[in-house]
Chains A and B, each alone.
Chain A
Amino acid sequence: MPILAKTGNEAMAEAMRQINPDVVAAYPITPATEVVMIFSGFVADGLVDTEFVAVESEHSAMSACVGAAAAGCRVMTGTSSQGLQLMSEILPIASALRQPIVLCEVNRALSGPINIHCDHSDTMAVRDFGWIQIFSENAQEAYDNILQLIKITENESVRLPGMATTDGFIISHCMEKIEALDDNEVKEYLGEHKKMNSVLDLDKPVTLGALDLQDYYFEHKMPIIEAMKNSKDVILKVAKDFAKRYGREYGLIEEYKLADAEIALVALGSTCGTARVVIDELREKGVKAGLLKIRVFRPFPAEEIVKALSKVKAAAIMDRSDMYSNQGGPLFSELRSAMYEAKDKPLLTNYVYGLGGREISLEDIQKIFAEQKEAAASGKVKQLIQHFGVRE
């Protein structure tokens, strides 16, 4: 296994090179531009035999991806923020047509105001479109998640598109050591793409994208809902197989020093790395702090989260986006809802943080843990929803 120094974007592009998709249709956008740029280089140098479609917009990128996938190809793309928003009309069509397209998404704040730095508002805004969503803590995970997503999305009981995300700049542009697979290992791991109901099947012409009115639409939504349910087991099976083959373990969630924790932080993406450092420090001081990392946001691992937090007294739910509902961020909203029937559950505080790339430091996380310690001791939450790190 080669050891490489790669940024998040380079790691994703490297995974794409090894996957060697049949078709890539993409449009550049900061901070995901490099994914498209590096991959274009692979095409120009003949390192892949992908048909690369350099479209004129992200809307056309996703439209061409749907066309290519419907023709029976393994298809990939990459984008961020406004680009994902421009694609968003076509995202639920991709899932409804059951096309296993894989998207490299780099989390960036949505306009407006325009901003190019990390938060999760872009990915969260498309969470209800039938796409599997996997968050990566670092470049290694980005690489591994992309490879696993091909397996997950193409599984016959899933057949849904999926996106693996990195945090803009924090991961996308930060160089780290990654352990890659050999090219032939990737080829062997993924196997051949299996086409289904291809529009290129001339002997058996299909009509895809038919008008579906009140007498059938609902029935046709159910298999998508079922597929998303099925995907949970598939994600776990794929992760288990990946661990067996290559030694790196993944799940729907990841617990870090959580088994005996009294206070915990629940987060997505790169913030988990920062939290681990603080937790180690706190543990040295005898504070029973732990982390619950949410790797998979869609499907939402509700039961797993409830179980993982059942012995925790107070937990900080970290949302890197708000949703203007006056109910905090999307992670908090869904996690809190999942807790409703739980007998043993922690006190919850929602921290909406890091919007538009506002830094979250070790000190910030120390402060959040201190507040959780206080809540655990007093049995009271000081403020249910906090917009943390914002100047007054």
Chain B
Amino acid sequence: MPTLKDLAKQKDPLSGGHRACAGCGAPIVVRQVLMASKDPVVVTCATGCLEVVTTIFPYTAWNVPFLHNAFENSAATCSGVEAAYQSLKRKGKIKSDHINFVAFGGDGGTYDIGFQSLSGAMERGHDMLYVCYNNEAYMNTGIQRSSATPKGAATTTAPAGKKIPGKQQFSKNLTEIMVAHDLPYVAQSAVGFWRDLTTKAEKAFSIRGPKFMNVLQPCRLGWAYDPSKTAELGRLAADTCIWPLYEVENGKYKLSYKPKEKKPVTEFLKVQDRFRHLKKPGNEAIIESIQKETDRRWEALLAKCEQ
């Protein structure tokens, strides 16, 4: 388990000075995941906020090899890099004993447009870690709904209008879909839990084969909150059980964090303007349904963890 002191001593895989918004959680995810690697890393990245803010030519914030191909193919691209490594290693053309291949994608590039590419790469069993920095909407193009967007949230393609109050559907449970791929390691973490995130990344890197991590990443622009509250928002998501922290190793569920006191979902909703319209009279049923679905998913997860 890495300590803060260990992490602080490491060479930063992603330098400062990039163009991410104040309070952006994405670089936090990247740095904490990559710093947990003892071996060299090679990164692929989907088109999206992370790629855009870190690689505006002629600048790059990446101190590790980085390849961006397109939006929906971070996993397939990474699988190609990994296959190349296996080939060159077998032929004795590369020295390095082991490299950790990491594919990053936002929820758009992972849950939606890149879902097939992700599923394919994981099924093929490449030795790689896929990390979704999940900010629950297409933030790069200006806050459009994704299948990761929670019910009730206002986005620019599911706005809070006079008749329809934001997104109508609950989010897709991608982590469970990845568990159904029978991967050796699947985990859910969030910004605001550095020890949880780095420990999970470290564990993922210790396992050979396909690994998947879904990391909730508050987006101050899309979620509309005070940019100093990013880590706090991630913690609130876990404390309300909206975003439980857990891991599944070889099919065995383990809860990583159980809040001392399970907070009502309103604690999470009320500090974000994407849910502001839910405070209006007449929208109580939406909040109730969010609470009910959160409880249902939490109980289902607990049951799996206790088995």
Please report A residues at the B interface, Cβ cutoff 8 Å: 22-23, 25, 49-51, 53-57, 59-60, 63-73, 75, 89-90, 93, 199-202, 205-213, 216, 220
Contacts and interface: CB of A to CB of B under 8 A. Distances in A.
A56 B85 contact: no
Interface string B143-159: 00000000000000000
Given A54-B124, A55-B120, A72-B84, A201 B65 contact: yes
14 contacts: A22-B91, A53-B83, A53-B124, A56-B119, A60-B116, A69-B80, A200-B42, A200-B99, A202-B42, A205-B62, A205-B65, A208-B66, A211-B51, A211-B55
Interface residues of B, number: 46
A211 B72 contact: no
Given A59-B76, A63-B77, A67-B76, A49 B91 contact: yes
B71 to A, nearest CB: 9
B60 A90 contact: no
A219 B151 CA distance: 45
Contacts of A202: 40, 42, 65, 96, 99
A53 B90 contact: no
Given A67-B77, A67-B78, A207-B55, 7 more contacts: A51-B86, A63-B80, A67-B76, A67-B82, A205-B63, A206-B65, A209-B69
A200 B81 CA distance: 8
B117 A60 contact: yes
A243 B68 CA distance: 40
Given A51-B86, A72-B84, A202-B40, A64 B65 contact: no
B120 A56 contact: yes
A200 B88 contact: yes
A213 B57 contact: yes
B15 to A, nearest CB: 11
B229 to A, nearest CB: 28
Contact of B57 (A54, A55, A210): A210
> Shortest 7 CB-CB distances between A and B: which pairs?
A67-B80, A64-B80, A56-B120, A71-B84, A209-B68, A63-B73, A60-B76
A53 B85 CA distance: 13
Q: Tell me which of B77, B83, B91 has the highest count of chain A C-beta atoms within 10 A of its own C-beta.
A: B83
B69 A199 contact: no
B60 A207 contact: yes
Q: Tell me which of A56, A60, A209 has the highest count of chain B C-beta atoms within 10 A of its own C-beta.
A: A60
Contacts of B66: 199, 205-209
A211 B119 contact: no
A71 B88 contact: yes
Contacts of B22: none
A64 B120 CA distance: 11
A106 to B, nearest CB: 22
B79 interface: yes
Interface string B207-229: 00000000000000000000000
A210 B53 CA distance: 10
Contacts of B52: 211
Nearest to A199: B65
Contacts, number: 162
A25 B82 CA distance: 12
B240 interface: no
B70 interface: yes
B83 A68 contact: yes
A22 B55 contact: no
Nearest to B56: A211
Nearest to B58: A216
A200 B94 contact: yes
Nearest to A192: B93
Given A60-B73, A60-B76, A207-B55, A67 B81 contact: yes
Interface string B38-53: 0010101000000110
Interface string B116-147: 11011101100000000000000000000000
A22 B80 CA distance: 11
Given A49-B91, A207-B62, A211-B51, A71 B81 contact: yes
Contacts of B20: none
B208 to A, nearest CB: 16
Given A200-B42, A202-B96, A57 B85 contact: no
B83 A90 contact: no
A318 B60 CA distance: 49
Contacts of A75: 80, 84
B67 interface: yes
Contact of A51 (B40, B63, B87): B87
Contacts of B96: 200, 202
B7 interface: no
Contacts of A53: 79-80, 83, 124
B83 A89 contact: no
B70 A22 contact: no
B177 to A, nearest CB: 15
Contacts of A213: 56-57
A64 B55 contact: no
Nearest to B59: A210
A28 to B, nearest CB: 14
Q: Tell me which of B44, B79, B84, B88 has the highest count of chain A C-beta atoms within 10 A of its own C-beta.
A: B84
B286 interface: no
Given A55-B76, A202-B40, A212-B57, A22 B68 contact: no
A67 B84 contact: yes
B70 A90 contact: yes
Nearest to B45: A209
B64 interface: yes
B80 A68 contact: yes
Given A199-B66, A208-B67, A22 B84 contact: yes
A63 B70 contact: yes
Contacts of A201: 65
B55 to A, nearest CB: 4
